[in-house]
Every structure is written in structure tokens, then in C-alpha cells.
Amino acid sequence: NAGVTQTPKFQVLKTGQSMTLQCAQDMNHNSMYWYRQDPGMGLRLIYYSASEGTTDKGEVPNGYNVSRLNKREFSLRLESAAPSQTSVYFCASSIRDYEEYFGPGTRLTVL
Amino acid sequence: AQSVSQHNHHVILSEAASLELGCNYSYGGTVNLFWYVQYPGQHLQLLLKYFSGDPLVKGIKGFEAEFIKSKFSFNLRKPSVQWSDTAEYFCAVNFGNEKLTFGTGTRLTIIP
């Protein structure tokens, strides 16, 4: 099993550009999550999907959109990137007990 | 609001010292509790978890944590740390909803 995979690993954008971060899991998990990690702030939940076909806002959803394409895939889109979105983004998935399995992360820099 | 607090932001210890990292949460109901570790440049990995039963739980790499319900705490301990324990440690709580709430993390530096 590959577990949780994320692409790309690194990305540099200019302010105003758009991009989509991809996430896939092969563990047949129902729930998937997108977090951002910033120094001194821990992990903050952006959006999550408790099951295929549903998405909900987390703590910091502004400036982001998500799509739960199917049970395996959960993408995060930045429509118009801003420097405040410079961060490391982690995707995670879990089954019923909420133990989350994390992907390797995407390091995004917005200039 | 439901929240998770980790009061130690950065802890520096010498090898073989004992470790205790604090985690407190604000909620009186049933919770599920987790400690995750993030080694430099890597993603988060589960150290241990508590759902019910014996409040002293043992995890990987010699770590353990004790759930004290009356204190709303789930502190992480290790009797003797190693240089390889240098990492960031996150406490996380499920408050009976569909997601985890993470603390802000504690950076642990072990001096050889």
C-alpha cells in the first residue's frame, strides 16, 4: 500500500495564480482532510470530507476549495494564490476511529 | 470552544533525560486522544492513542501517555530520551465529531 500520496511535493506560485493540490489514498478510508502547517500554529484544518460526496469547512477555509472526486481522491484548489497561503499542506485520511494517516506534504511558496 | 493546549513550545533535553510533554483539552464529554510525532522534514506519524480502558497507554519507541480525566490532560512521557527523538510532537483530540483538533505542537531538541 502506498498509503496517502500527495502531488506536487514543492510548488512556487506568483500572487494571483491558481493551482490544485492532489491527494489520494489506497486504504479505503471514508474520511479525508486537508491541513496547513505554519510555524508556531500547529496544524489547522482547511476542509474535510467525512464521506464520498460530502465536504465541510474546517478552521481556515477562506481562499480554498475542495473536491472529493471519489472515495480515493480529495483535491484542494487555490483559485487566486496569496502570500498568506505560503505554507506546508498535508492531506490525511481516516477510518471510523479518527486515527489519521498523513501524506508527505506539499511545500507551497507564493511570491 | 473545544481546544487543545500544549504549553511547552520548545523543550531542550540531554540524552538519557526523562521527558514529559503536557497536553490539556477543554471539553467535559467523551474524547479520543492521540499523540503524533513529526521528524524533521517528514510527515506526521502516530505515536499512541487512547479511546477507553487503561488510562496509561504505551506507544512506539518507548513512549507512553496517561489520560487523567479529572485534569483534562493527556501528557506524553518517556523515561530516557535519545538523540533520535528530536522532533515536533503534536497532541490531538477527537471531541466526538468527525475530525481531530490539534495542539500547536512542542518542538523537542535532544542534545547528544
**Residue B90: which of A42, A99, A105 has the nearest Cβ?**
A42
Calculate how close chain A gets to B59, using CA atoms only, in Å. 14
Write the pLDDT tens digit of every residue in B32-61: 999 999 999 898 999 999 999 999 999 999
Strand A106-110 relative to strand B73-78: parallel, antiparallel, unpaired?
A: unpaired
Q: What is the pLDDT of residue A18?
A: 96
User: Rounded mean pLDDT of A13-28?
Assistant: 96
A100–B contact, CB cutoff 8 A: yes
User: Rounded mean pLDDT of A6-11?
Assistant: 96
Under an 8 A CB cutoff, do A99 and B46 touch? yes
User: Rounded mean pLDDT of B86-98?
Assistant: 92
Write the pLDDT tens digit of every residue in A72-87: 999 999 999 999 999 9
Do residues A96 and A30 lie in contact, with contact meaning Cβ atoms separated by under 8 Å?
yes
User: Rounded mean pLDDT of B77-105?
Assistant: 94
Calculate how close chain B gets to A49, using CA atoms only, in Å. 9
Neighbours of A16 (CB within 10 A): 10
Calculate how close chain A gets to B43, using CA atoms only, in Å. 5
